[in-house]
Amino acid sequence: MSCGVALAVSLLLSDPNVAMAAARPPAAADAPVSVVGEPLFADIVARSGLLRGEVQGWMAAGVADRADFFSGADFHGFKARATELAALDMQGHLVLKERGVDGDLKCILRGIAEDIPVKLESVENAATPAERRVALDELHYLLNDNVEVITAPPQPEV
């Protein structure tokens, strides 16, 4: 028995993880690749998570129930950061489009980029605290969706 074969057998017998890894089928060459580790997409996830946390804090504390909240510096800063996020989502869409990716993520990022300004406007135009809460909840959901679609494992096209 050669030394290489003996070493391979001893590794297989000593570490069950090696045996499990060897038993897995090789990854398909055309399998979708996750973009979550790429700087642009990691930035989108981080920014969206921070903005989502701000919205959640506002809802929990009830500060958005004040009629003057949306004319204050906190909301204006938030709105500027959310607008930047929408631009990054569109940039992510364009990157995937340029790569020739024909998956859901490309379309979802474009939709989120287009929806963020709409949701911000709904929050600003809400006439009552109840309407504001609904608008904030929808914005929170959209920001959460932005995180989840990028961090979800890629699925093969159907």
Instruction: Read off φ and ψ for residue 101, nearest 5 degrees.
Output: -70, 130
Single pTM value for the model: 0.77
Selected residue with higher pLDDT from 73 and 143: 143
pLDDT, tens digit, for every residue of 105-115?
999 999 999 99
Query: CA-CA distance, 38 to 52, in Å (whole number)?
Result: 21
pLDDT, tens digit, for every residue of 17-59?
444 444 545 445 455 678 999 999 999 999 999 999 999 999 9
CA angle 117, 123, 128 (to 5 degrees): 160
Residues in contact with 24: Cβ distance below 8 Å, sequence separation at least 6, in sequence order: none
